[in-house]
Structure 1
Amino acid sequence: MPIDSPVPRRRPSPRLPALAVIAAALLTACSAGSDASGGARGDGAAAAVTRAGLSRSLPDDPARMVLPTTGAETRWTQGLDVFVWQVARATATTCANERGAVLPEAAPPAFIRFSELPDLDFIALHGTSASAPVPAPATSPTATRPAGPAVQRRCAAEGEAAADALRDLYGPLQQKWFGELVSLRRDPETVRALRALPDCLAQRGIEVPDENGFFALADTRMQTTDPADLPREQRALGQAYAGCMRPVEAIREPARKHLLNRFRTTHAEELDTLRRTLLPALRKAAADHDVSLVFPAP
């Protein structure tokens, strides 16, 4: 399926680049926009989470898929990660089909958010542990005979090579960018803003020492809450986190954009190459493997 033309506006790939290790140490799921007041206390404002949707709209500049500065921009990054995973899987599946064999089932991909760039509107709408659905792959097995070890190795290698051909276009530059973003952890204004997070959450009935403590608590609640109450609990936690993190993001987003302006200057040649090559390569891969490039959407 062809990719739409650009318009304004993780599971992750089989071999996740180092940038995801740097920037996605804390994985969060989707949530819905609105403020956090009262949510964690379970009042009427914390209604059940809504189902996230999908978008095919590409950014006006393809570099925004690779070098996000906001949580909203990471939706493009997440979609790119899933697309590359699906290209790898489709290539491997076709390889096995041609040999009359079927590969073992793989864990399905998911849109994985980045802790360094929290998507607060998404989290407020959909809670802390849900995500948009990833479309099923178009390439499916046509055989029933299980692939033997040699076929599995060969087809896995073909899939990885197809993924690498795409990752090589943006991965090295993206890894450098996420290295820049991590430097903001030491920014004095960011540090001060994060110190206020526990007090803000406490006003919403959530007693934690810091951001990591919040997600540890959220994970525990997702595992122990009665299934009937889980949607409301997800929404409440999402609203609380989004509301309390907005002052932090109000500081970090301008700082990220300042970093990006400097990054564009020091990596101008690489950016020119990225803008010239990435979208044509994605369109070709989409047509060759019948894979769609889609993004989470509130």
Structure 2
Amino acid sequence: MTNIKKVSELAGVSTATVSRTLKSPGLVTEKTRDKVMKAVKEAGYRPNWLATSVKTGKSNSIVVLVPNLVNPFFMRIIEGIEQAAQERGYSVLLGDTQGKSQRENEYASMVLTNRADGLIQLDHSFPFSDNDAELAETIPMVSVCERIANRKYPFIELDNYAASRALAHHLISYGHSRFGIIAGQIESQIYRDRLAGIKSVLHEEGIAFDDSMLVGGSYRIETGVEGARQLAGREQPPTAVICFNDDIAIGALHEFKRLGLTVPGDISVTGFDNVRVSAYMDPPLTTIDQPAYEMGRRAFEVLLQMISRQPLNRTREILPFTLVERQSSGPAKS
């Protein structure tokens, strides 16, 4: 097996620096870290993490709680987490919770019993049971996308308020004034931020919003199908529909077309997330691109700082978004 000395020679640093980079990457510069990790890959070096875990009392594993593994957006986040974790010698244990608190409690307890060193939560809920809540305050945990209400854990997120404002401005620029919204989970911060962003733009433009045009309640394709059916049945249907993720938008596109409506001729549809399939829909979907892979990587890096007991510069990190305009949005029907 290639040893650490070979890695140090390839990277042009000491063996102590290689060891420090692998054990505590936050203690070395980004330039040094990149050189060492490139040398590790080139040399095919595999550190003896088992021996290290016996010495340090750490498992070199983390738990990632996912509300729905089928969701392609979550899978992109997990890709980022997995890659960053692999580079640091950590294993990733995935817990598909299906949004059920009991499942969350069971997976989260792995950190409390030292079977994992930290936890990344991709949902908005606090994953520990009431009995474990006090002890859990000391547990390294990071949330991605969502925020855990009334808790002080760090989180990585998008500026959902600004992103939804960008979508609303985009549609208004095409002359739309009757809007429908098919939302995700209504108890989450994402829901509140995105809805507030849309309504703020409508208010600024003097466009009234009819609350009966707000439907949905989950991030599933079926939510988009049912939401589209409801909106199309209104006495005055919307000319533009903003969906709170791409799965919802895909379901809505399917149902509007089944009902005989053209997109965007009769109705414009936008999504959120820019999952890979959104570019291949008929028509291709206008959406907000979230840097999901980078969100995952950054979540692990912050978690590793917490595991290593390093101070965090900030507890909230906001990553940039991009509005991707495709053919599912266009001029309002006169």
TM-score scaled by length of structure 1: 0.28
Q: Which protein is richer in helix relative to its size?
A: 1
Larger radius of gyration: 2
TM-score scaled by length of structure 2: 0.25
Q: Which protein is richer in strand relative to its size?
A: 2
Higher relative contact order, chain-length normalized (CA < 8 Å, sep 6+): 1
